[in-house]
Amino acid sequence: MPVRGRVPHTGRLWSELAERFSGGIQNLVDFRWVFANNVGMALTPRQKEVLDFLVDYIGRHGYSPSFEEIAAGLKLSSLATVHKHITALEQKGYVRRRFNESRSIEVSPGYLEAERERLQARQSGQREVPLLGRIAAGSPVESVAMPESLNLGEFAQSEDIYALQVKGDSMIEDHICSGDYVLVQRVAEVRDGEIVVALVDGMETTLKRFYREPDGRIRLQPANAELAPIYVEPERLQIQGRVLAVVRKFRSQAMSHRAG
């Protein structure tokens, strides 16, 4: 018979997290990349599902699930797939396993604390916009997620609004500077001239003004006279949202300049 390794935890924390995830996988965060506090590497959506399944299961039973239970709960095709995801989570610091002991997966305390704080903020009525990462305002670069949020009240009334931090100066003539935060609304369609978050080739995101060219291409226009526009075919481009507002933290920028 398998040995059920009890996983140390505080009852209240696990109860809160179990309630948080009781809605099942359909209630998971749908971000492309997700970070937890004190954990330095990004998660894929499937890894996030596995991690949240572990939190829910351990919170309800007091011990971790078997690989078979994880596969059944998440409708994964094989135990090898489960092993791959657990190994990836372990390498990234989200979980750890005790050697040669069944049901011994432990979730990172940093991740549990981050989830507890998010749950408490939600229950207290705080309105926060998820800060999903930094967006290039120069050449397109891979978007990187961050474990932060911006408490912006009225902007957080819709789940379709999120925040990005700008990196680069390609939009400086539109008064969007490196280090600023832009509030973005997820939309399927945008109009010419709107500032958009554009995903190019499924890999790279950039912040630019959107224009349709007569030849059918899309022009991503920087607001910097020293930079050239980016031309892409429509099938290479996915619009992830349009900019609603810019937030600038002058104190933080001034401290950064003094530090430099």
Cite the active site residues. 170, 208
How many whole angstroms separate alpha carbon 219 and alpha carbon 198? 11
What beta strand segments (E) does the chain contain?
95-97, 105-107, 129-136, 148-150, 161-167, 181-185, 195-200, 204-212, 218-221, 230-232, 237-247
Q: Which tokens is 51 given? A: 């991690």
63, 103 contact by CB (below 8 A) = yes
Which of 168, 167, 159, 217 lies closest to 192 in space, CA to CA?
217
